[in-house]
Amino acid sequence: MYEQELRQMQRAAKAGKVRFVPHAVRELALDHLSPDDAVNCILTGEIVRDQYDPKYQQMKYVIYGDSLSHDEIAVVARWDDDSKVVVITVFRLRVGNYE
């Protein structure tokens, strides 16, 4: 369902076109993760759902994937006006996160 969107995000991530909002940076630190872990999640993951972001009036995507150490994590991301992937938040997946 989200294959094309995911492929575009993966291409952007491979090209280094990813930026992190301050909240995402804080969440990475709290979960002992790095920005590279979030990028790896995008590269290895799948979009499990979308959510409309009224603040930016666009869709954001929830991606489940792996950190560099193969822990299961999630990234919530959207596009910016410069075709960069904007990482909004990151968190470790726990049993209750799966639908």
The number of folded domains in the chain is: 1
Query: So what's the pLDDT on residue 56?
Result: 83
Q: Please check whether residue 50 lies inside any domain of the structure.
A: yes
Residue 99, domain member (yes or no): no
Residue 68 pLDDT exceeds 80? yes
Residue 67 sits in a domain of what CATH number? 3.30.2310.40
Whether 72 is covered by a domain: the verdict is: yes
Residue 42: domain span: 3-93
Share of the chain above pLDDT 70, in %: 95
The pTM score is 0.91
Instruction: Evaluate whether residue 63 is within a structural domain.
Output: yes
Using a CB cutoff of 8 Å and minimum separation of 24, what contacts does 4-13 make? Answer: 5/47, 5/61, 6/45, 6/46, 6/47, 6/61, 6/63, 9/42, 9/61, 9/63, 9/77, 9/85, 10/42, 10/43, 12/83, 12/84, 12/85, 13/39, 13/42, 13/43, 13/85
